[in-house]
Amino acid sequence: MRIRIIHGPNLNLLGLREPDLYGHDNLDELNKKIQDLAGSLGVEVEIFQSNSEGEIVDLIHQCVGHADALVINPAAYTHYSIAIRDAVSTIRLPVVEVHLSNIHAREEFRHRSVVAPVACGQIAGFGSASYLLGLRAAKQLVEEARR
């Protein structure tokens, strides 16, 4: 089973500021945690980060025929990118939306996700563990679909 992980804009800066919101892990440390869990779950992961909306759309499209599920933190695009929402709804694969912070406990403009309604579910507020929970959820969704 292959699961694609996409980190959205500015997450390349993780660990460099706002640790109270996003935790102390930098992106390499977070990716190592994801790879370690994937190894123990017997799942292959491929991890991408992009600051560009169009590139993220392309990365979502490339999942078709290549990955079994997608875990995505669309970062700020969560709140307004119809292009990313449409890409997610087009691929017809299990998609789990994740956020480091609890977007529902922050500014009102972060409460709305335009992606969540076309994802299987959303995990928010657990720091790096949101991705680990998202990976477990994605694996379970793929297994359920195969039964």
The catalytic residues are 22, 99
Provide the minimum distance between the beta carbon of 131 and ligand CA2 in the complex, in angstroms, as a whole number.
Answer: 9
Provide the minimum distance between the beta carbon of 125 and ligand CA2 in the complex, in angstroms, as a whole number.
Answer: 8
Given the rule CB under 6 A, which of 33-41, 59-67, 95-103, 133-141 is the region that contacts ligand CA2? Answer: 95-103
Q: Which of 65, 73, 115, 116 is nearest to 93 (CA)?
A: 65
Distance CA 113, CA 109 (A): 9
Q: Is 52 left (phi over 0), alpha (psi -120 to 50) or beta?
A: beta
Can you point out the beta strands (E) in the chain? 2-7, 44-49, 69-73, 95-99, 121-124
Q: Figure out which of the listed residues 56, 103, 115, 141 binds ligand CA2, where binding follows CB under 6 A.
A: 103
Q: Tell me the residue type at 72.
A: I
Nearer to ligand CA2, 69 or 103 (CB): 103
Q: Figure out which of the listed residues 5, 6, 22, 53 binds ligand CA2, where binding follows CB under 6 A.
A: 22
Q: Figure out which of the listed residues 18, 36, 58, 143 binds ligand CA2, where binding follows CB under 6 A.
A: 18
Distance CA 18, CA 135 (A): 24
The binding site for ligand CA2 (CB under 6 A) comprises 10-11, 13-14, 16-18, 22, 73, 75-76, 78, 99-101, 103, 110
